[in-house]
Structure 1
Amino acid sequence: MAIQHTVVFRLVHEPGSHEESAFLATARDVLASIPGVEDFTVSRQISPKSDLVWQFSMSFADQSGYDAYNSHPGHVGFVESRWVPEVASFQEYDFVGLDGGC
């Protein structure tokens, strides 16, 4: 059963700042390189209906891949050193398709 993992968030940094760019680049480098992560994307919100500006999205082939990602030292380290101090607000969504696929 494939899992689509998505997190939408707002950073503490000013839009367009070096700090914002550095956070996004580090996230892409670290998170996309973790084994099992597929189709990692970074997207920017364009609707004024939400103040959550950024989105990371990735997929996993199955629950074991998702679990391995969550406990991987790269993910844990990124969350502790970058996510916690730099993310002002977020929502996390994890989906499986109705038919068990993505």
Structure 2
Amino acid sequence: MSIQHTVVFRLVHEPGSTAEVEFLETGRATLTSIPGVTDFAVKRQVSPKSDLTWQFSMVFADQAAYDAYNVHPAHIEFVETRWQTEVATFQEYDFVAR
């Protein structure tokens, strides 16, 4: 059963800034380099109902692929060196088809 992993977030950087663009590009490059990550997408929130402005979304074939992603050194390093200092707030959602 595939898992769609979604993280919706707001950065500390100014919208449209070089820092914002660089964070999103680094996130894409880093996370897509991890085995098992498929259908990766970066999307911008356009609804005024939420202050979370960005989304990373990806799909894993199964729980084992998702678990391997979570402990992969590239994921851990990205979280520790970028995410924790550049993301102001976030919500994480993981979905499986019914």
Give me the TM-score of the superposition, normalised by structure 1: 0.95
1:33, distance to aligned residue in structure 2 (A): 1.1
State the AA in 1 paired with 2:69. Y
Question: In 2, Cα distance between the equivalents of 1:96 and 1:28?
Answer: 22
2:27 corresponds in structure 1 to 27
Measured on the aligned residues, the alpha-carbon RMSD in Å equals 0.3
- Following superposition, which runs of at least 4 residues in structure 1 exceed 4 angstroms of deviation? none
CA distance in 2, matches of 1:81, 1:20: 15
Distance in 1 (alpha carbons) for counterparts of 2:5 and 2:59: 6
Unaligned runs of at least 5 residues, structure 1: none
Question: Residue by residue, what CA displacement relative to the aligned partner does 1:64-96 show, whole Å, maximum 9, x if unpaired?
Answer: 000000000000000000000000000000010
Q: Give the whole-Å Cα distance in 1 for the aligned partners of 2:70 and 2:31.
A: 10
AA aligned opposite 1:9: F
Q: Distance in 2 between matches of 1:50 and 1:33?
A: 30
Question: 2: CA distance between counterparts of 1:94 and 1:13?
Answer: 26
> Percent identity among equivalent residues?
71
Cα distance in 2 for residues equivalent to 1:3 and 1:25: 23
Counterpart secondary structure, 2:85: helix
Match of 1:52 in 2: 52
Scaled by the length of structure 2, what TM-score is found? 0.99
SS in 1 for 2:36: coil
Tell me whether 1:9 sits opposite 2:9 in the alignment: yes
Counterparts of 1:35-74 in structure 2, within 5 Å, are 35-74=35-74
SS at match of 1:76: helix
